[in-house]
Amino acid sequence: MSGDPGADGPGPGYAVVVPTLVRDTLADCLAALAAANGPAPDEIVLVDDRPGPDAGPDALEHPLTVLGDLRERTVVLRSGGRGPAAARNTGIRAVASPWTVFLDDDVQVGPHWCEQLIQDLAEAAPDTAAVQGVIAVPLPGERRPTDWERGTAGLARARWIAADMAYRTGVLEEFGGFDERFTRAFREDADLALRVLDAGWRIRRGRRTTRHPVRPAARWASLGQQRGNADDALMRRLHGPDWWAKAVAPRGRIRRHAAITGAGAAALALAAAGRRRAAGVAGLGWAAGTAEYAWARIAPGPRTRDEVTTMLVTSALIPPAATWHRLSGLWRHRGAPAWRELAATSPAEAVRPARPANAVQGPSPGLSPS
């Protein structure tokens, strides 16, 4: 990578913002950025989103070392463990460059990423608010992918994901950045994109490519993912019942999950009331729905003993978990007004909660802001 911003040729200035929980993948992410050919970023803002007691500086020593000369233009901020949306907003407030590029800490930019990014930004029309990178998810070639691997592979087809997304910094400031009510890495990027598109801006796909390896996950990780159903409830409140179509997002199985959960609950209630025949009918409905869901997840996978066992157990647990999170999300966000109603007043203040006084702390020792 060139040592100075724009040294390899004229181009738009840009900053790179990386929110992180300081996972093992961070060093590879920063090493790939440092090795990429092309004009270097004006600044790198690394936002440590670990909760206070866990945010010791020692864990950052190795990842920062791999940056080489770029370490001099890197600043480390802390966002207090409030989620990736809040972490990115913390980074935005520190950026002075005309473009802000978001990278997740588990991706690896390609070898020519910097020069391709400059080309993407230079080709952006005046009404283009953002340019999305191309995400590539490497999958095993010797076997069928697991359920978790197939889920990660879906990122390659997703619209507007912040794993590699460049926004005009002025647009981010105009719209108040990311909505911090999205506390997980889910839907916060689609929400921002829909708000920007609703206002008449465009978002295009660029040419630069970034790898998103499939990271290891706990056996029951799919259960934890069901918390995203609460975020879907917030999306419905903000963008209307047709937000799925606007965001070109898969609708998912929430209706089937609710039906399966209802059948199971009815079977238990009827059995407790002594209505065995009716309970049996409801139980058959629950079993049929669960079996269909399990097979839909097992059939395209490797069908190993561990994978089949995991799919059978989680397929029984996911429908009630998904239904619970959807209902809790509907209740929690029942008073959230639609985005267009808020946009009529002040879009920037409408979605960004007030920043806590200690949300951003200064650069870590040994680092200097660009």
| pLDDT band for position 341 (cuts 50, 70, 90) | confident
What is the per-residue pLDDT across 230-246, written as a single tens digit (0 to 9) for each? 999 999 999 999 999 99
Q: What is the pLDDT of residue 149?
A: 96
Residue 1 has pLDDT above 90, yes or no: no
Q: Report whether 84 contacts 133 (CB < 8 A).
A: no
**3-state SS track over the chain:** CCCCCCCCCCCCCEEEEEEECCCCCHHHHHHHHHHCCCCCCCEEEEEECCCHHHCCHHHHHHHHHCCHHHHHHEEEEECCCCCHHHHHHHHHCCCCCCEEEEECCCCEECCCHHHHHHHHHHCCCCCEEEEEEEEECCCCCCCCCCHHHHHHHHHHHCCCCCCEEEEEHHHHHHCCCCCCCCCCCCCHHHHHHHHHHHCCCEEEEEEEEEECCCCCCCCCHHHHHHHHHHHHHHHHHHHCCCHHHHHCCCCCCHHHHHHHHHHHHHHHHHHHCCCHHHHHHHHHHHHHHHHHHHHHHHCCCCCCHHHHHHHHHHHHHHHHHHHHHHHHHHHHCCCCCCHHHHHCCCHHHHHCCCCCCCCCCCCCCCCCCC
| pLDDT band for position 12 (cuts 50, 70, 90) | confident
In this prediction, residues 192-203 reach a mean pLDDT of 96
Which of 110, 100, 118, 178 lies closest to 350, judged by CA? 178
The full set of domains in the chain, from first to last, is: 14-217 (3.90.550.10), 254-336 (no CATH)
What is the per-residue pLDDT across 256-285, written as a single tens digit (0 to 9) for each? 999 999 999 999 999 999 999 999 999 999
Residue 90 has pLDDT above 70, yes or no: yes
| pLDDT band for position 165 (cuts 50, 70, 90) | very high
Q: Report whether 47 contacts 21 (CB < 8 A).
A: no
Among 56-70, 129-143, 152-166, 175-189, which stretch is predicted with the lowest mean pLDDT?
56-70
In this prediction, residues 127-150 reach a mean pLDDT of 96
The two structure tokens encoding residue 287: 């079993």
What is the per-residue pLDDT across 26-47, written as a single tens digit (0 to 9) for each? 999 999 999 999 999 999 999 9
Residue 126 has pLDDT above 50, yes or no: yes
Residue 360 has pLDDT above 90, yes or no: no
